[in-house]
Amino acid sequence: MTYVFNPAPQVVVPTSDGREFPVRRIYCVGRNYVEHAQEMGFSGREPPFFFLKPADTVVPVAEGQTGAIDYPSLTQNLHHEIELVVAIGKGGRDIAAAAAAGHIWGYAVGLDMTRRDLQGEMKKQGRPWCIGKAFEQSAPIGVLHPIGKTGELKSGAITLKVNGELRQKGDLAQLIWNVAETIEHLSRAWTLQPGDLIYTGTPAGVNAVVKGDVMEGAIDGLGTLRVAVK
């Protein structure tokens, strides 16, 4: 086989045990904390829904380092959404919630960066969210921690500071659809495979960042994710 050009390198996320997790797809859950759903103008009682980002939107950031993203084109309103990221290690379809933990490789702190103005315009017109959500460098992520070390995460503080000021604060126990239920719903619609990442939704307090801001996200047991906007 001769490629027409060299294929893009495999996207990877470093793991806390010194390896690299090869990324296949990035699934994201919309409006999965009640107060965030309400701040976006919804009741918080709708079934889970999903969108995707391309794998190469990932920006891996090592623990203790400050990653960087470029302020993206076309937007005047770049928002942070701090999220628990679940990494799938064993694929499957129609996975029951009770069996979901067996499909999880591990967890990380992630940011679902959003061009809110473009997303809002697409929503208003009933068009896909891609331009608001699936742009380059829109999925920063910290080190992945294996479930064997963390245990199954069902609660724990999730926070985001910008320039040291607290912007978002919640608890994983407040997820409307918990991780197991999310995997159950998601695996009815798509066949999950090893390498898939699931951004599980953000708590209330989403807001804008500008060039020069430094975001610092944290989840109990998963360390911190620090990212500067260039």
Contact set with Mn ion (CB under 5 A) = 81, 112, 202
To Mn ion, the closest distance from the beta carbon of 166 in angstroms equals 19
Distance CA 174, CA 154 (A): 9
* Cβ nearer to Mn ion, comparing 51 with 105: 51
* Cβ nearer to Mn ion, comparing 72 with 91: 72
Count helices and strands (H / E) in the chain: 5, 18
* Cβ nearer to Mn ion, comparing 81 with 196: 81
Distance CA 173, CA 98 (A): 17
To Mn ion, the closest distance from the beta carbon of 111 in angstroms equals 9
Residues with Cβ within 8 Å of 165's Cβ and at least 6 positions away in sequence, in order, are none
Distance CA 192, CA 204 (A): 28
Residues with Cβ within 8 Å of 180's Cβ and at least 6 positions away in sequence, in order, are 97, 98, 100, 101
Coil, strand, or helix at residue 72? coil
To Mn ion, the closest distance from the beta carbon of 29 in angstroms equals 7
* Cβ nearer to Mn ion, comparing 139 with 153: 139
Residue nearest to Mn ion (CB): 112
To Mn ion, the closest distance from the beta carbon of 143 in angstroms equals 20
